[in-house]
Amino acid sequence: MTEAGEIRIAVVGSLNMDYSVVLKKRPAVGETVLADDILITPGGKGANQAYAAGRTGGSVQMIGRVGSDANAEIVKNTLEGQNINTEGIREDKENPTGIAIIALDSQAQNSIIVCPGANQKVKGNEIIESLDKLANLKIIMLQLEIPMECVVQAINYAQKRNIMTFLDPAPVPPEGLPDSTYKMLDYISPNAIEAEMLSGIEVSDMESARSAARYFMGKGVKNVIIKLGGQGVYATDGTAEVMIPAIEMPVADTTAAGDTFAGAFCTRLEKGDSFFDAVRYANYAGGLSVTRKGAQKSMPSAEEIEKFIGLNEKKV
């Protein structure tokens, strides 16, 4: 397990056990359908992004809460298997480890129901206590499956220590994000639906993604990445922009493709890549992940991504 002094990336967020049910079609209201298969694996957006960062060579600590149950041990052991430091994960004696129920249809599209459990009991002071021990921290990764006040507290802390912040704004809260939070974000990475929910702009292509990005930058965000699914990824630093096509691969499961992207992106930033180079690398990582089923099980290693990049570049 990576020692505290070596850690460059802290992931503050959720830890779950995922129950993925494979269906020919998702049920309508009042309908009962038979599943073809079930896959039980560790998940949670926070843990997924930590796992992806660890798989791609990042030096990572996970910060969050689990219950005092069997799922907690599985979740932690899986992260430690990727050399991820788990000393920032607290045990909750009163609430279970979070659970996600994922319905995956024959088109490889998913619907997700999350039962937060211990994730909703994360405390801001616990986060800060863990972050204080990481003297060489460069990036704090955040999502929105823990209380918003904890996310805001972590972002405020990052600004005081001049640490980069990356936010995957999912799930989008009904009230949106505080304006003060946008101003402290170095990177925001919504998908098209999340970008629309936050900006009020329907996002479906490069032009509409550009408009949504202008909204976020008007709020003070430094760099914007908008994931457009099968169309690819739009990214801008306010001066330059890129639209990177999606990698054409047979799709088995889109679960955690965005988390794979996030972890790979932040690892490459931590390694010294430019913003746009890190986005390109992460696009390959996410593209490779959708060819496999499951969340963390689908996430490629750095070696697999490099080989994948090499094969695709030869085609160009």
Instruction: Looking at the chain, list the stretches that DSSP marks H as alpha helix, in order from N- to C-terminal side.
Output: 45-55, 70-80, 124-132, 148-161, 179-182, 192-199, 206-218, 257-270, 275-289, 302-315
Task: Tell which residue, 27, 202, 36, 46, has the closest CA to residue 122.
Answer: 46
pLDDT digits (tens, 9 = 90+) for 152-207: 999 999 999 999 999 999 999 999 999 999 999 999 999 999 999 999 999 999 99
Active site residue 237: no
- For the ranges 4-13, 177-186, 212-221, 240-249, the lowest mean pLDDT is seen at 240-249
**How does DSSP classify residue 96?**
P
- Count H helices, E strands: the chain? 10, 13
The whole-chain average pLDDT of the chain stands at 92
- For the ranges 45-54, 98-107, 133-142, 236-245, the lowest mean pLDDT is seen at 98-107
Catalytic pick among 18, 92, 186, 259: 259
Please name each of the domains of the chain with its CATH number: 4-15+44-96+118-315 (3.40.1190.20)
* Cβ 47 vs Cβ 62: under 8 Å: yes
pLDDT digits (tens, 9 = 90+) for 126-151: 999 999 999 999 999 999 999 999 99
Residue 316 above 70 pLDDT?
A: no
Amino acid at 68: S
pLDDT digits (tens, 9 = 90+) for 60-95: 999 999 999 999 999 999 999 999 999 999 999 999
pTM for the model:
0.91
Taking residues 14-23, report their average pLDDT: 90
Confidence of residue 249 (pLDDT cuts 50, 70, 90): confident
Rounded CA separation 241/235 (Å): 6
Residue 220 above 50 pLDDT?
A: yes
